[in-house]
């Protein structure tokens, strides 16, 4: 079974990354081109994809978009140092996390393990048939689905994980650090913007006012709060 498909055109970096991850118990396959990454993914059916942004044939953003049409598992993007635009674009198109190149092998391994652990936990949640109902909002871990006013709302894997944590703690402020620990199993580094990006996307999908949100509130200096009383049954 392939744990990870690494899509990276830098042969030296790909070889070093593959070797390090395999030394730590993970089976890694390497693909060098973006335009052949999807077919290789379909062949191997890995648990996770590590995806470079700059690839020959098809860039990482487009590969990520295409993968998300058929893959709910973790996708980790490798982005250029200090390029916030690349990082946000990766998250917007469905990536679960990113690591800045050149990646410290220990940091990369920690992120990979955290994403795989979270994916396994979500499978466990699915088996336990957990459901939260707040007015017209229903968050169902058994089917990994979200419904609002009887209409299903499509969320990415990490968007669902974030909404689930907010919903099961509805009425309670959750700091970024707490959300990072619950979702990724790691401490918040003070710089990562992925939680904020996903909150914005969830608000849009659930019809919250992004300029003046009242369903998922920002409590300045403290974190985020999902209001349990804001999901009225009527539209």
Q: What are the start and end residues of each CATH 3.40.50.2300 domain in the chain?
A: 4-123
- Fold of the domain spanning 128-226: Arc Repressor Mutant, subunit A (1.10.10)
Report d(CA 205, CA 203) in Å as an integer: 6
CATH number of 4-123: 3.40.50.2300
DSSP-assigned beta bridge partners for residue 50: 6, 76
Asked if residue 141 lies in contact with residue 126, where contact means CB atoms within 8 angstroms, the answer is yes
205 pLDDT exceeds 60? Answer: yes
What is the pLDDT at residue 86? 66
Q: What share of the chain is helix, strand, coil (3-state, %, to 5)?
A: 40, 20, 40
Q: What are the start and end residues of each CATH 1.10.10.10 domain in the chain?
A: 128-226
Task: Pick from 19-33, 63-77, 125-139 the range whose average pLDDT is largest.
Answer: 19-33
What is the pLDDT at residue 232? 78
Tell me the per-residue pLDDT of 163-203, one tens digit each, with 9 for 90 and over.
Answer: 998 998 888 999 888 888 777 665 566 666 788 888 999 99
Report d(CA 139, CA 172) in Å as an integer: 17
Label residue 45 left, alpha or beta by phi (over 0 means left) and psi (-120 to 50 means alpha): left
Q: Where are the alpha helices (DSSP H) in the chain?
A: 11-23, 37-44, 60-68, 84-92, 105-127, 157-168, 176-184, 194-205
Mean pLDDT of 109-125: 79
């Amino acid at each position: 079974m392939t744990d990870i498909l690494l899509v990276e055109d830098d042969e030296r970096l790909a070889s070093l990354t593959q070797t390090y991850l395999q030394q730590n118990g993970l089976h890694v396959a390497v693909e060098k081109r973006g335009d052949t990454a999807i077919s290789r993914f379909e062949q191997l059916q890995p648990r996770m994809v590590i995806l470079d942004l700059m690839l020959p044939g098809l860039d990482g953003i487009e590969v990520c978009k295409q993968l998300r049409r058929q893959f709910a598992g973790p996708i980790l993007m490798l982005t250029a140092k200090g390029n916030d635009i690349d990082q946000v674009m990766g998250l917007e198109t469905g990536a679960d996390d990113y690591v800045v190149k050149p990646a410290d092998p220990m940091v990369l391994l920690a992120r990979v393990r955290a994403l795989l652990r979270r994916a396994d936990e979500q499978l466990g949640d699915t088996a336990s048939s957990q459901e939260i109902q707040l007015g017209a909002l229903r968050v169902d871990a058994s089917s990994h689905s979200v419904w609002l006013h009887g209409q299903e709302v499509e969320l990415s894997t990490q968007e669902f994980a974030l909404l689930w944590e907010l919903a099961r703690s509805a009425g309670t402020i959750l700091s970024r650090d707490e959300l990072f620990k619950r979702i990724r199993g790691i401490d918040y580094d003070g710089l990562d913007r992925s939680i904020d990006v996903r909150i914005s996307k969830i608000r849009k999908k659930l019809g919250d006012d992004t300029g003046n949100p009242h369903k998922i509130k920002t409590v300045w200096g403290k974190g985020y709060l999902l209001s349990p009383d804001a999901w009225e049954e009527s539209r």
